[in-house]
Amino acid sequence: MKYLCQVWFDGAILDAMTKEEKAELDANSLNYDKDLGDSGNMIVAQALQPPKSAVTVRVRGGEMSVTDGPFVETKEALGGFILIEAKDLNDAIRIAAGIPLAKLGAIEVRPIHEFAAQ
């Protein structure tokens, strides 16, 4: 089964890190991605630009509106994602727990809904 691991964290935590701490986190993250690729669990992983670079699009009553950034009520924002292949939810949770940013934020694990071919 496929699972999306959404990586949520408070950007202020990263901003407070030293250059060396950020470099170590980046290296750990890239190494974990490589390990997932080597094990066959990795489908794709991407980091996202900060929330201030985003726009939110809504269509209501046929009218489109675009606003700057997401509306975030918490300090944590979506910082990236890893799409994985896992044998079941427990395996996906095990994989998510190894993501280095899990130590600084939260990883939301969600099964991918597969639509049947018509």
Domain ranges of the chain: 2-111
**pLDDT tens, residue by residue, 8-48:** 999 899 999 999 999 999 999 999 999 999 999 999 999 99
* C-alpha to C-alpha distance for 69 and 28, rounded to whole angstroms: 29
Do the Cβ atoms of 7 and 81 come closer than 8 Å? yes
pLDDT at residue 39, rounded to an integer: 97
pTM: 0.87
The CATH number of the structural domain formed by 2-111 is 3.30.70.1060
